[in-house]
Structure 1
């Protein structure tokens, strides 16, 4: 390595650490009259009040004995309280554990023990569960009650008090210390197809860099202005899942009006969308489909709503339906391990001239890597493949905000970071314009007749059928072909579909030479609801077992 000249600052120079507290500095500067709104209880906070509440929470935690390095768990719906925890907990040097409340009880217990949680902040809805399993939580010392009611019910286990009451009794100032920017700020758990959930973790430095890049990404494209001073932000991605994709940190730094809906219910989301004049949200495809399919959504004009889709592939059918309803829809790509931002849709300057079909085709692309992301594709031997839009390989990445491993799991961490690149487990292509297109998860690629067939490609084509709402495709073993595709679908209200209808629909793409005949699923099962994971993604593990058991 060539010798480099190192900066040698004077002793008096302040070494500015990249800490989450720096994100809070600018919030009041730009907020103006913008508020932080709680859809769970209707309360509204100015940014000055929000900052004071963060300080009050820091004082409460410190009085409770929380020290730097201690892990504080939160089990809550999406509320302003949770946003306060996003800041106060890591800003005192502790680690925020955002517990996935949709996991099975035994998995919740596993993650809380594995993370070594010391203090737990829990909503009334989750206190009964904690009361049942508290004897299994080996490191937890104290609990705090979170309630949406002004007159909270008695907790089913001993707590140190109720959140609002504790904040009222705390001082509204706190001198947040400086410390090493590489200190762990957050941790949470990602579920796989087998075994226990795996813990990922992120430092203050990583979260600050991710926030700055996300802020630039959501405003640097003329045709994708997601977050500006006038924007109204409402997350529809759980705050326990990758920090709600990190967007709350950006929205707070920019001083935007923020709306936190509590528990996700279509009627509540639609009401808040209209009354608070929401302009930007993000979610997985199934959540948007749920909202658009609700009866109350039929009479709503969604013009002006921008929605970033991630977690699962955005199909052409859903993108088309969203555009027809006035929603400007875009794709984002990332994973729990990547904090999560890696790439987003990139709309060209002449996008307004595109036809509807051209708009759809552009918006469902996985997108271009955002600043600071180095992305490549490799073959099974680890060799880099050309960016020609044809070569398919595993997507590997490098960027400053990737988890450095799985918590206390060195072997899995080495596999994740083999040869110094983070392995995503996704198969994709990259073309000469740096545009990524994810073709499938490695484990979901269907190997039929010596060919690799993308389950996402089949889902995308099936979703274009006018009577089909959602589609999921998996491969099942076949004696002759190795594997064959099988599909489950949900039909639109009042519609009826079967395999013959899907086959007739797919035949047009076969005739046009877009796909081969073996892309046609052997079976098409119509279901009322497609199984989803704890974060709303299509659960192909469950679908595979369901179709296997049905023969």
Structure 2
């Protein structure tokens, strides 16, 4: 350890803790009367948001929630979720954002593992909770979230959210405490075993928020969120705090629109009615939006869309650009809070045509400020940043989870060698731009060569008859593995395996891929399996294919 000079603070000097309450208190200074909108049901000002958060803090305290307790949240994207993002951690409790798309068995596991004390649940999730209530070992009560009249339930309900708030004072003195206190926990599903608990402290969430303000707002080459933008998340709020953007938007005081349950036509209508300018989602949700009836004839030219969670194929990006939408790529994972990288275009690149820009926009992007990122080989040695050499992406930043809840062994694997291991294979060019080639578990190993499933997906997606595509490796006696492509065709155009094989030969001829990269098998389907957060479920595709082969 290097010895440095330390000057001790004066007596009485205030050591400012990095707490989530600072993000809230800063936000209302700029646009006190700016709007928070919940679908077509409710709208109110930032002034009211601050009052309601204090009322919620009183409700939680009256329900017996203490510092260190865990409060579970099951809701669609709403103003209530935003209020819980602040009120729960600001009283020193931990917010558990429950993944509502998990199976009942997995929801039960995560709620017991997180040791939830109080549960806030939308009416739509009461049947699920009634089913598992007998197995919940730590839950002491429930608060009901109703958009209309509260539904009858057998659960021990403390009261209905709005009624409880209306009976509570709008004043609350939020305390100071250690900035390293845990603020949030949620669960990420892996390829095997039970979901893993990922947790973040107040300090980590504040630093991630401040970095994102600079990353999304300061650069002309990445103009995602400015003070006059209108923000609507299309990434569930249970998933990595909706990528942390609600904290950013609240700090900046921008108009926020929460759509409730995701329905593509509703999302497009809200985009038009509320003049939304910035959203983020996974590519599969983007495809659903572009394909819905409300999208026909809609001018998307003011919509800036950040895509992450899985690779953005060139074909999908081209379809979005054709509607006028401005697409950008982001990169991160549940364990990284999540944002690590985003598309950044230089001034000369911004002057290029959109056709020229798209290959740059679908790359993973440039690391954000305070993100140390590199690629390493299987022995942990650094790999050249020449744009060609590939290795595992490892990272350090002030906001990365420090482990997995109650699972020190998995945490040690995650942080092997003092760097967080992402499990992604990528290359970095001389400009510092990262390009993810594949997940380690999804790289196709054929005849001693590596084939990127993401690269194949991007090439296949450019065919006009392809709506969406997923590529996985399947066992092959001669080569070990060969690619298989699952394809959804556009309704008006149909193709077969021979058509796509002929189409891919042009990329063999120009040197983009080798001949053995052409998939051995094409499956034409109506839909591609998705995970609980909307990503393509390649694990399930491989499992289903192996079962079909006997």
TM-score w.r.t. structure 1 length? 0.99
Contact 1:506 1:520 in 2 (8 A): yes
| Matched ranges for 1:72-471 at <5 A | 72-149=71-148, 151-471=149-469
Q: Give the secondary structure class of the aligned counterpart of 2:157.
A: coil
For residues 274 and 2 of structure 2, the distance between their equivalents in structure 1, rounded to whole angstroms, comes to 56
Output one character per residue of 1:244-293: Cα deviation in whole Å (capped at 9) or x when no partner.
00000000010100000000001110110100000000000000000101
Where does residue 28 of structure 2 map in the other structure? Answer: 28
Q: Give the secondary structure class of the aligned counterpart of 1:350.
A: helix
Where does residue 493 of structure 1 map in the other structure? Answer: 491
Contact 2:32 2:47 in 1 (8 A): no
Deviates more, 1:6-15 or 1:302-311: 6-15
For residues 247 and 143 of structure 2, the distance between their equivalents in structure 1, rounded to whole angstroms, comes to 24
For residues 112 and 72 of structure 2, the distance between their equivalents in structure 1, rounded to whole angstroms, comes to 11
Deviates more, 1:400-409 or 1:3-12: 3-12
Q: Give the secondary structure class of the aligned counterpart of 1:405.
A: coil
For residues 24 and 7 of structure 2, the distance between their equivalents in structure 1, rounded to whole angstroms, comes to 28
For residues 239 and 11 of structure 1, the distance between their equivalents in structure 2, rounded to whole angstroms, comes to 42
For residues 50 and 59 of structure 1, the distance between their equivalents in structure 2, rounded to whole angstroms, comes to 14
For residues 384 and 247 of structure 1, the distance between their equivalents in structure 2, rounded to whole angstroms, comes to 32
For residues 224 and 32 of structure 1, the distance between their equivalents in structure 2, rounded to whole angstroms, comes to 27
Output one character per residue of 1:71-120: Cα deviation in whole Å (capped at 9) or x when no partner.
00000000000000000000000000000000000000000000000000
For residues 288 and 462 of structure 2, the distance between their equivalents in structure 1, rounded to whole angstroms, comes to 17
Q: Give the secondary structure class of the aligned counterpart of 1:26.
A: helix
Contact 2:57 2:91 in 1 (8 A): yes
For residues 11 and 316 of structure 2, the distance between their equivalents in structure 1, rounded to whole angstroms, comes to 58
For residues 301 and 379 of structure 2, the distance between their equivalents in structure 1, rounded to whole angstroms, comes to 48
Where does residue 3 of structure 2 map in the other structure? Answer: 3
Post-superposition shift, 1:229? 1.2
Contact 2:391 2:425 in 1 (8 A): yes
Post-superposition shift, 1:548? 1.8
Post-superposition shift, 1:7? 3.3
For residues 60 and 418 of structure 2, the distance between their equivalents in structure 1, rounded to whole angstroms, comes to 38
Output one character per residue of 1:484-530: Cα deviation in whole Å (capped at 9) or x when no partner.
00010111121112211211111111111111001100111111111
For residues 303 and 402 of structure 1, the distance between their equivalents in structure 2, rounded to whole angstroms, comes to 34
Output one character per residue of 1:148-181: Cα deviation in whole Å (capped at 9) or x when no partner.
11x2222342200000000000000100000000
Post-superposition shift, 1:32? 4.6
- 2:521 equivalent among 520, 523, 528: 523
Contact 2:269 2:294 in 1 (8 A): no
Output one character per residue of 1:295-325: Cα deviation in whole Å (capped at 9) or x when no partner.
2211211111000000000010011111111
For residues 540 and 7 of structure 1, the distance between their equivalents in structure 2, rounded to whole angstroms, comes to 54
Where does residue 13 of structure 2 map in the other structure? Answer: 13
Q: Give the secondary structure class of the aligned counterpart of 2:185.
A: strand
For residues 33 and 2 of structure 2, the distance between their equivalents in structure 1, rounded to whole angstroms, comes to 52
For residues 50 and 493 of structure 2, the distance between their equivalents in structure 1, rounded to whole angstroms, comes to 51
Runs (4+) of structure 1 moved beyond 6 Å? none
Deviates more, 1:23-32 or 1:156-165: 23-32
Output one character per residue of 1:311-341: Cα deviation in whole Å (capped at 9) or x when no partner.
0000100111111110000000000000001
For residues 348 and 66 of structure 1, the distance between their equivalents in structure 2, rounded to whole angstroms, comes to 49
How large is the Cα RMSD of the aligned pairs? 0.9
For residues 424 and 524 of structure 2, the distance between their equivalents in structure 1, rounded to whole angstroms, comes to 28
Q: Give the secondary structure class of the aligned counterpart of 1:210.
A: helix
Is there any run of 5+ residues in structure 1 with no aligned partner, and where? Answer: none
Contact 2:33 2:47 in 1 (8 A): no
Output one character per residue of 1:114-154: Cα deviation in whole Å (capped at 9) or x when no partner.
000000000000011111110100000011100111x2222
For residues 7 and 478 of structure 1, the distance between their equivalents in structure 2, rounded to whole angstroms, comes to 65
For residues 362 and 8 of structure 1, the distance between their equivalents in structure 2, rounded to whole angstroms, comes to 48
Contact 1:181 1:205 in 2 (8 A): yes
For residues 358 and 544 of structure 1, the distance between their equivalents in structure 2, rounded to whole angstroms, comes to 35
Contact 1:145 1:155 in 2 (8 A): no
Contact 1:316 1:464 in 2 (8 A): yes
Contact 1:498 1:525 in 2 (8 A): no
Contact 1:329 1:363 in 2 (8 A): yes
Q: Give the secondary structure class of the aligned counterpart of 1:443.
A: coil
For residues 268 and 235 of structure 1, the distance between their equivalents in structure 2, rounded to whole angstroms, comes to 13
Deviates more, 1:115-124 or 1:495-504: 495-504
For residues 128 and 383 of structure 2, the distance between their equivalents in structure 1, rounded to whole angstroms, comes to 49
| Matched ranges for 1:40-59 at <5 A | 42-59=41-58
Contact 1:221 1:347 in 2 (8 A): no
Aligned length, in residue pairs: 549
Q: Give the secondary structure class of the aligned counterpart of 1:461.
A: helix
Q: Give the secondary structure class of the aligned counterpart of 2:458.
A: helix
Q: Give the secondary structure class of the aligned counterpart of 2:227.
A: coil
Q: Give the secondary structure class of the aligned counterpart of 1:521.
A: coil
Q: Give the secondary structure class of the aligned counterpart of 1:470.
A: strand
For residues 41 and 466 of structure 2, the distance between their equivalents in structure 1, rounded to whole angstroms, comes to 37
For residues 170 and 50 of structure 2, the distance between their equivalents in structure 1, rounded to whole angstroms, comes to 8
Q: Give the secondary structure class of the aligned counterpart of 1:145.
A: strand
TM-score w.r.t. structure 2 length? 0.99
Post-superposition shift, 1:354? 1.5
Q: Give the secondary structure class of the aligned counterpart of 1:171.
A: coil
